[in-house]
Each structure stands twice: as structure tokens, then as C-alpha cells.
């Protein structure tokens, strides 16, 4: 018989009670300020990269440079994430599917901007809008969220916080492309939600920089 994860019997209150403390409220206010500052700096510094990526995408394949895609955010609300297009325009004519290793739908330039995380840069706009945070669980598409909530206990609890550009699960686990991957990453997401702090956020940012420099986990 397959054993359930150690956290399978947890109650939502295990995650929620922390939110009522004065310390946590102060932390959330500081986080929003840091999110806005990071987004403004990120957009300003990345202007040359954004221009170069836009030109490369245009020359490499047909289609728009940017694309908007529905994702599930805080408290299950749906928003449109902004990314550089890294796949062919006909990538999902048969419907949504997980991105696989050496995915044939990814363009030549798309492979590079995914590996270097350049495709994520436009999401600084989502952070400015307040739809995302710099750090948090990765926002997933409604199509997959509906499936995963039926298959994995407490999956919806990851929506107790804003989704992030990077996060504990992203730096601790490889790219998720299956139900089993989603199950493993959920454990990291729940750990982060319970243990949010500026110290943990700094660790995640430093690990993210290492991930970008060494190209780990991209697909």
C-alpha cells in the first residue's frame, strides 16, 4: 500500500493561523514594498535584454513577441500572466499539455530564453499590478489546477498566498511536468507558506540567481 505524504492529514488552520500575527502583517506590508521596488528595478535594468529578445523572437518565428495566458492566483482568482513567446503559435491546437523535455513545440530562441529565464521578465508587470509577488508558488493554468485539486489533497492551499516569479519549490525541485512533480513541489510550497520570512526570501533570491547562472531546471 502506498503511504501518504506526512502532510496529508494537515488542516488548513495550520497554514492560516500565522497570518493573524502582527509580525506577519508587517512582513506582508514590507513584502509588497519590496515587490514594487524589485519590479521597477527589474524592468529598468532588463530593457536592453527585452529589446534584444523581442528582435530575436520576431526573426526566429512567426507570431507575437509576447503572449498572455490565464493562471490561477491568490485565493483562486484568475489573471493573465505575461511572458515572451517561446513556442510555435500552433503549439496547443490539440489543447493544453505539460511541457516536456526537448519539447518540439519550443522554438530555437524559445529554448534559450527559457533556459536563461528571460521569458519570465515581462512578469515584473504582473508584480507591479499586484497579481504576483517576487516570491511565491508558481502560478499554474486553470486547466491543470482543476485536475490537480481533484487528485492531490490540499493542492488549493497553495493559493493562500500570491504566486511568485520564483519560489522555494522552483529552486529546490526540477521543472514540474506531471502530477507526481506537482505533488512533490506542493510540499515545498506548503513549507514556504507556513515559514514565510525575509530571511527565507533572501535565501530563495540567492538560490534563484544560482539557478539562472547555471541553467538548472529549465524546460
Q: Where are the domains of the chain?
A: 46-214
At 93-102, the pLDDT tens digits run 767 777 766 7
User: Is the C-alpha dihedral spanning 129, 25, 29, 188 positive or negative?
Assistant: negative
Q: Is the pLDDT score of 20 beyond 70?
A: no
Packing angle of the helix pair 142-151, 179-194 (nearest 10 deg): 90
What would the grid cell of residue 25 be? Answer: 502583517
How many CA atoms, within 13 angstroms, populate the side-chain half-sphere of residue 16? 8
pLDDT of residue 6: 47
At 99-137, the pLDDT tens digits run 766 778 899 999 999 988 999 999 999 999 999 999 999
Comparing CA positions, the residue from 5, 60, 206, 43 lying closest to residue 125 is 43
Q: Is the pLDDT score of 29 beyond 90?
A: no
CA dihedral 93, 95, 96, 102 (to 10 degrees): -50
Mean pLDDT of 61-78: 94
Amino acid at each position: 500500500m502506498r503511504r501518504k505524504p506526512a502532510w496529508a492529514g494537515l488542516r488548513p488552520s495550520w497554514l492560516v493561523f500565522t497570518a493573524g500575527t502582527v509580525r506577519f502583517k508587517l512582513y506582508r506590508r514590507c513584502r509588497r514594498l519590496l515587490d514594487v521596488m524589485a519590479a521597477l528595478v527589474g524592468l529598468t535594468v532588463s530593457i536592453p535584454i527585452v529589446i534584444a529578445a523581442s528582435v530575436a523572437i520576431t526573426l526566429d518565428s512567426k507570431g507575437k513577441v509576447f503572449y498572455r495566458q490565464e493562471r490561477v492566483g491568490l485565493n483562486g482568482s484568475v489573471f493573465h500572466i505575461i511572458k515572451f513567446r517561446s513556442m510555435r503559435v500552433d503549439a496547443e491546437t490539440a489543447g493544453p499539455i505539460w511541457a516536456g523535455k526537448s519539447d518540439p513545440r519550443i522554438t530555437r530562441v524559445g529554448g534559450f530564453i527559457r533556459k536563461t529565464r528571460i521569458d519570465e521578465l515581462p512578469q515584473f508587470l504582473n508584480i507591479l499590478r499586484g497579481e504576483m509577488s517576487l516570491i511565491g508558488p508558481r502560478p499554474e493554468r486553470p486547466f491543470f489546477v482543476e485536475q490537480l485539486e481533484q487528485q492531490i489533497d490540499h493542492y488549493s492551499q497553495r493559493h493562500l498566498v500570491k504566486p511568485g516569479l520564483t519560489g522555494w519549490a522552483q529552486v529546490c525541485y526540477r521543472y514540474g511536468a506531471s502530477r507526481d512533480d506537482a505533488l512533490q513541489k506542493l510540499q515545498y510550497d506548503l513549507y514556504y507558506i507556513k515559514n514565510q520570512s525575509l530571511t527565507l526570501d533572501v535565501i530563495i533570491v540567492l538560490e534563484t540567481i544560482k539557478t539562472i547562472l547555471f541553467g538548472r531546471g529549465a524546460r
